[in-house]
């Protein structure tokens, strides 16, 4: 699909990922970008930098109200289905979280079918794999959800449902659909709802207050941190491709310990504070593994995507953005 001159809708458009996808679409010449959001989690301030661009429309709408999707999707070539509950808010409000992530995703596909939308790019998650082992995880790896916390398990299942809808509507209704499985997304316009990304932004806040950064366990817990600009680029490349009914890991492929995150933050701030190792009772976690070997071979082979932003550079960009907001 051609991005230049096209019309696209982003559900969850006033979010961290949605706002960066909008930036990428506009940079590649999209004629119209509709940002659909109900502002329950996202805020208009997230996309304030797009004010005045007549190619952008910010529309209040809810994926649980399908009639609002019919209007928003009219004449759209593609839809980026980003709206959804993350693990933490879903754990706090399961009835609404499940409705949004399952019924809401069904509504997105039904509205696309009604409006004649050609393609959907669905925001999934590496949470579909569950607790990782010590082997390389590619897109064919089975789900290992038995050891997950209940909230994390529910979230994973909603993403598996979304991926199944991608394949079903592609096969039955001819709507091309691709699912992108993100690892821990972070970056400018960061919020406080991403379970694993909280280690970055909360500890940066602590260091700025002169408090020691806190880490779980002995700090050896690892995550795969992917900068939001790389995620946005993967979304647009997936939309532009002719690929359908596939899932892709959108990951750095680099294991980074939470201790290393603290070290980067301390280096950037010039602080000599030492991390404090504290386990918070009842904290919601997606994974707590000392190993996370995620493969990005498939997306590189089929879409030509590779990450461009290292975790060191990405955190530098994030902290620079945070500092700019406080001025």
Task: Quick: pLDDT tens for 256-273.
Answer: 999 999 999 999 999 999
Provide the mean pLDDT of the chain.
94
Q: What is the pLDDT of residue 188?
A: 95
Bridging pattern class, strands 256-257 and 222-223: antiparallel
With bands split at pLDDT 50, 70 and 90, how would you rate the model's confidence at 248?
very high
Query: What confidence category does residue 147 fall into, taking pLDDT thresholds of 50, 70 and 90?
Result: confident
What per-residue confidence (pLDDT) applies to 287?
A: 54
- % pLDDT > 90, the chain: 85
pLDDT of residue 195: 60
Q: Which of 123-127, 208-212, 280-284, 316-320 has the weakest average pLDDT?
A: 280-284
| Residue 291 binned pLDDT confidence (cut-offs 50, 70, 90) | confident
pLDDT of amino acid 66: 98
Report pLDDT for 43.
87
Q: How far is CA 305 from CA 27, 123, 228, in A?
A: 17, 16, 14
CB within 8 Å of 81: residues ≥ 6 apart: 11, 12, 105, 108, 120, 121, 122, 123, 162
Weakest-pLDDT range from 59-68, 102-111, 193-202: 193-202
Q: Give residue 325's pLDDT band: very low, low, confident or very high (50, 70, 90).
A: confident
**Token pair belonging to 146:** 């038995």
pLDDT value, residue 283: 54
Does residue 125 carry a pLDDT above 80?
Answer: yes
Separation of alpha carbons 266 and 208, rounded Å: 10
E strand or H helix that includes residue 80: strand 78-81
The string of pLDDT tens digits covering residues 176-221 is: 999 999 999 999 998 776 566 778 999 999 999 999 999 988 899 9
User: Per the confidence metrics, is the pTM higher than 0.85?
Assistant: yes
Task: Indicate the range of 37-41, 66-70, 78-82, 301-305 predicted with least confidence.
Answer: 37-41
Highest mean pLDDT among 81-90, 233-242, 276-285 belongs to 233-242
What is the distance between the alpha carbons of residues 126 and 64, in angstroms, rounded to a whole number? 24
Q: What is the CATH number of domain 7-188+225-253+295-310?
A: 3.40.50.720
Which one-letter DSSP state was computed for residue 129? Answer: G
Compute and round to an integer the Cα radius of gyration of the chain: 19
**Spans of all domains in the chain:** 7-188+225-253+295-310
Predicted confidence at residue 290, as pLDDT, reads 79
């Amino acid at each position: 699909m051609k991005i230049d001159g096209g019309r696209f809708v982003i559900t969850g458009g006033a979010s961290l990922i949605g706002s960066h996808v909008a930036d990428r679409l506009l940079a590649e010449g999209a004629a119209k970008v509709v940002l659909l959001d109900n502002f329950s989690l996202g805020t208009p301030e997230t996309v304030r930098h797009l004010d005045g661009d007549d190619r952008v429309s910010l529309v209040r709408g809810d994926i649980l109200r399908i009639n609002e999707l019919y209007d928003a999707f009219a004449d759209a070539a593609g839809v980026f289905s980003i709206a959804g509950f993350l693990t933490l808010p879903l754990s706090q409000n399961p009835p609404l979280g499940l409705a949004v992530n399952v019924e809401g995703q069904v509504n997105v596909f039904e509205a696309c079918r009604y409006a004649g939308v050609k393609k959907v790019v669905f925001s999934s998650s590496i949470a579909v794999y569950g607790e990782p082992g010590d082997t390389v995880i590619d897109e064919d790896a089975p789900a290992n959800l038995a050891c997950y916390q209940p909230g994390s398990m529910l979230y994973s299942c909603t993403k598996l449902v979304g991926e199944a809808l991608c394949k079903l509507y592609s096969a039955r209704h001819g709507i091309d659909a691709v699912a992108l499985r993100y690892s821990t997304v972070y970056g400018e316009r960061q919020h406080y709802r991403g379970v694993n990304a909280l280690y970055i932004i909360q500890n940066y806040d602590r260091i700025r207050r002169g408090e020691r950064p806190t880490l779980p366990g002995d700090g050896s817990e690892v995550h795969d941190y992917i900068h939001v600009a790389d995620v946005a680029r993967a979304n647009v490349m997936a939309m532009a491709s002719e690929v359908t009914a596939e899932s892709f890991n959108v990951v750095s492929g680099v294991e980074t310990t939470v201790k290393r995150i603290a070290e980067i933050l301390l280096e950037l701030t010039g602080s000599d504070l030492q991390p404090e190792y504290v386990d918070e009772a009842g904290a919601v976690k997606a994974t707590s593994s000392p190993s996370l070997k995620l493969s990005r071979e498939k997306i590189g082979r089929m879409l030509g995507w590779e990450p461009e932003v290292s975790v060191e550079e990405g955190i530098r960009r994030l902290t620079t953005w945070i500092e700019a907001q406080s001025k």
